[in-house]
Amino acid sequence: MADQGSGGSRLPLALPPASQGCSSGGSGSSAAGTGNHPPPRSLQGLLQMAITAGSEEPDPPPEPMSEERRQWLQDAMSAACRGQREEVEQMKNCLRVLSQPMPPSAGEAELATDQQEREGALELLADLCENMDNAADFCQLSGMHLLVGRYLEAGPAGLRWRAAQLIGTCSQNMAAIQEQVLGLGALRKLLRLLDRDPCDSVRVKALFAISCLVREQEAGLLQFLRLDGFSVLMRAMQQHVQKLKVKSAFLLQNLLVGHPEHKGTLCSMGMVQQLVALIRTEHSPFHEHVLGALCSLVTDFPQGVRECREPELGLEELLRHRCQLLQQHEEYQEELEFCEKLLQTCFSSPTDDSMDR
């Protein structure tokens, strides 16, 4: 804090009462700093006074860094660099484990131990690659080639789903890694896993990786279209695994919102009819996402509206009945709103008063 006797060029910590300011004006110390102006009586005046004072006397140069402070900064930077190097070494160790050939003629206990070590390596890599710098380093170490080539479609299910999870973790919001993964042909393998793998965990993790490769990634979406990915997604929604159904419907809705130019392709595949068939199944929270996808499909898209109006679908009656069931259940409010929006979009007209509420 500045010495009070050093003149009026610096603002005091608190403004004195107006009477004190007037009585001290004759001393000349504060008047010199403010050009004989009266003390400010508002925030705007205080701001102007601060600007004036700052322009009259520049800020003093920063004090030299103390040796203690300098040492602290050096130690902190060294620790950060050391931590990054240690994590890279951990990734290298994991890749050494994963690069080992499978034991050719091992007993059951040895095979179980070997699988445990490989699963542990994949789990540690997934944790480390939550950090984007580590994910980039992992790819530079050719880790992605190893995952796609040796683990994604081979070996026990515990290795397959961990490999799919690691691909998704590395690919999230990383365009360069997404491009590398797509170039390795991983999307085709992931779609096969989603469509055919007997293990539910593998299918769920494959869908996670697919989502990371096609959302906000134009090249990934084009590959997805060429590989008939929407058909695979529809078949996933028809499975018995609730998590798989919900996540598939959510991805479909997201792609429809982000890429409305593909609505025609989906209609030509019979997507409207298949979504309506899903809504007719036994009610579950999954229906909210199916209705959301159908809403996205018909919004600003007359072809979708026309298909929803086909009498053989019976969609209007289905939606009105669903609205009656949901009105007393607050937990299904979003599903109810989707039903009402579909009724409004597909089955109301300027003279139709049935939707008035």
Of the candidates 170, 196, 227, which is a domain's last residue?
Answer: 227
pLDDT score recorded for residue 68: 74
Q: Which domain covers residue 277, as residue numbers?
A: 230-349
pLDDT at residue 10 tops 60: no
Tally of structural domains, the chain? 2
Q: Is residue 15 part of a domain?
A: no
The answer to whether position 3 is within a domain reads: no
Same domain membership, residue 236 and residue 221: no
Whether the full predicted model's pTM is greater than 0.85, yes or no, is: no
Query: Is residue 328 domain-resident?
Result: yes
Q: pLDDT tens digits for 284-324?
A: 999 999 999 999 999 999 999 999 999 999 999 999 999 99
* Per-residue pLDDT tens over the stretch 226-272: 999 999 999 999 999 999 999 999 999 999 999 999 999 999 999 99
Kindly state whether residues 212 and 252 are assigned to the same domain: no
For 160-163, the CB contacts below 8 A with 24+ separation are 160/193, 160/197, 160/199, 160/202, 161/199, 161/201, 161/202, 161/204, 161/205, 161/206, 162/119, 162/122, 162/123, 162/126, 162/205, 163/122
Residue 20 within a domain: no
Cα(95)–Cα(138) distance, rounded to whole angstroms?
Answer: 9
Is 322 contained in some domain?
yes
**Same domain for 234 and 207:** no
Asked whether residue 121 is domain-assigned, the answer is yes
Please say which residue of 210, 227, 244 terminates a domain: 227
Q: Tokens 């229906």 identify what position?
A: 287
Owner of token pair 């080639």: 145
Q: What is the pLDDT of residues 116-132, one digit of tens each?
A: 999 999 999 999 999 99
Residue 48 falls inside a structural domain:
no
Position 61 scores a pLDDT of 66
> Same domain for 210 and 299?
no
Please check whether residues 234 and 345 belong to one and the same domain. Answer: yes
In this model, does residue 354 exceed pLDDT 60?
no
For residues 181 and 256, state if they share a domain.
Answer: no
Contact in structure between 290 and 249 (CB atoms under 8 Å): yes
In a domain, 109, yes or no: no
* Whether 173 and 190 share a structural domain: yes
Query: Does residue 210 contact residue 191 with C-beta atoms inside 8 Å?
Result: yes
CATH number for 214? 1.25.10.10
Statement to judge: residues 203 and 131 lie in one domain: yes
Q: Which of 279-309 are b and which e, b meaning 16 or more Cβ less than 10 Å from the residue's Cβ?
A: beeeeeebbbbbbbbbbbbbbebeebbebbe
Taking only the tens place, the pLDDT of each residue in 23-70 is 444 444 444 444 455 665 555 665 666 666 555 555 566 667 777 776
